[in-house]
Chains A and B, each alone.
Chain A
Amino acid sequence: MNLFGVMDVSASALKAERVRAEVVAANMANAETTRTADGDPYQRHHVVFEAEGAESFKHSLVNHLGGSGVGSMRLGRSVTADTSVDGGVAVTGVISDASAPLRRYDPQHPDAGPDGYVSYPDINPLTEMVDLMGAQRSYGANASAIQAEKNMVASSLDILK
């Protein structure tokens, strides 16, 4: 953890919540999609979040105090966006829900089967809306955490004055 360690953790949460909101939006957009590339109706998608290298605060503090001071210079490495931050969160995958499609009788529909029934994705707009609100709230909370962290660093700069 460096000066901006807390910020990196909150940033990973912002990224993850944005992906979650995008997946919910895709689910809502495709709530009536009866046809995808493989010919089946659209399947609802979920994101899977995973904690990254979660350590207790005490453990990392002791590590920090007892460990080596400055990290050795690693030369010639490429720049990577921190995909895994210790204590942060990462989206490990987007999996599709295997629930059975809803069957509705509509013989006029181009995707109707021989029995006149059409398979629609089992997507409830209410469930999706609640999920979207959750993502929105979490995003806001993490943005506030970043703001707090910025104020902390700014206060530490005021000590110099």
Chain B
Amino acid sequence: MQVTTALSDALGRYLDLTGEQMKLTASNMANVDTPGYKTQGFDFEQEFARQLTGAGSTGFAQPAAQDVDGLVTRPDGNNVSMDREGIQLAKSQLQFRLGVELLKHEYSTVMSAIHAEAK
């Protein structure tokens, strides 16, 4: 019998991916004044599906960051939008909290099984 369930495994990958997304957002924000820098990002749904199909012992597959199109490029060749990144950061924070709460919930069931004797 193992403590890890399919859901907790999936949630772990979800949190890893959210962390990656935050990292990219932070580097986009850091490069807001870098000439020629292009906004980096990845498609969350698609990457998460890839993580789940490769579920099992493969571990975390690094998502491939690519240029984000559909942004306005400034004269210095930089297309980072501070509004987009701010929203993105807020979203990732909430996503992370969601994952953590669900994971806590998942483990609390195991904990109640452990403490069942004492009740």
Binding site for B on A (CB under 8 A): 3-4, 7-8, 11, 14-15, 18-19, 73-83, 146, 150, 153-154, 157, 160-161
* B67 CB to nearest A CB, Å: 8
Binding site for A on B (CB under 8 A): 39, 41-43, 45-46, 49, 66-72, 81, 83-84, 87, 90-91, 94, 97-98, 101-102, 104-105
Q: Is the CB of B91 within 8 A of A160?
A: no
| 4 further contact pairs, Cβ within 8 A, besides A76-B46, A150-B94 | A14-B87, A75-B46, A78-B69, A80-B70
Q: Which residue of B lies closest to A15 (CB)?
A: B83
Q: Which residue of A lies closest to B98 (CB)?
A: A157
A129→B70 CA distance, assembly (Å): 30
A7→B72 CA distance, assembly (Å): 20
A7→B70 CA distance, assembly (Å): 18
Q: Is the CB of A80 within 8 A of B69?
A: yes
Q: Which residue of B lies closest to A158 (CB)?
A: B101
Q: Which chain A residues lie closer than 8 Å to B101 at the CB level?
A: 157, 160-161
Q: Which chain A residues lie closer than 8 Å to B104 at the CB level?
A: 160
A161→B101 CA distance, assembly (Å): 7
Q: Is the CB of A150 within 8 A of B90?
A: yes
